[in-house]
Amino acid sequence: MTAPAQALKAQARRLRAALSDEAVTLGHRKTLDLIARVHGWRDWNTLSAALDKGFELPAGQAPSPQEDPTMTSPHNGELPQYLKTT
């Protein structure tokens, strides 16, 4: 597996943990698909296949290798409207 794929999977784990903190439960597969969509791809399979074939994410889309980034933006504790299910 490529280093960018590993970094994207780390992003998915962080996203899943952050959503869990907000009482939103998603499976690992769905979280990977969301990460792919954030980076402009249809789904994880499409992005993963492109990475395996040597495609490189454009600058600005490259995932951060950090496993535990520090959150610096303010958060009021409410779930964003686009994540609300009701």
pLDDT tens-digit series, residues 32-85: 999 999 888 899 999 999 888 888 776 655 554 443 344 444 555 565 565 565
pLDDT for res 68: 39
Residue 71, in any domain of the structure: no
CA dist., res. 3 & res. 43, Å (int)? 18
Residue 8, in any domain of the structure: yes
Residue 72, in any domain of the structure: no
Residue 58, in any domain of the structure: yes
Whole domain around residue 58: which residue ranges?
Answer: 3-66+77-83
Residue 62, in any domain of the structure: yes
Residue 27, in any domain of the structure: yes
pLDDT for res 33: 94
Q: Is the pLDDT of residue 12 over 80?
A: yes
pTM value? 0.65
CA angle 25, 27, 31 (to 5 degrees): 95
Count of domains observed in the chain: 1
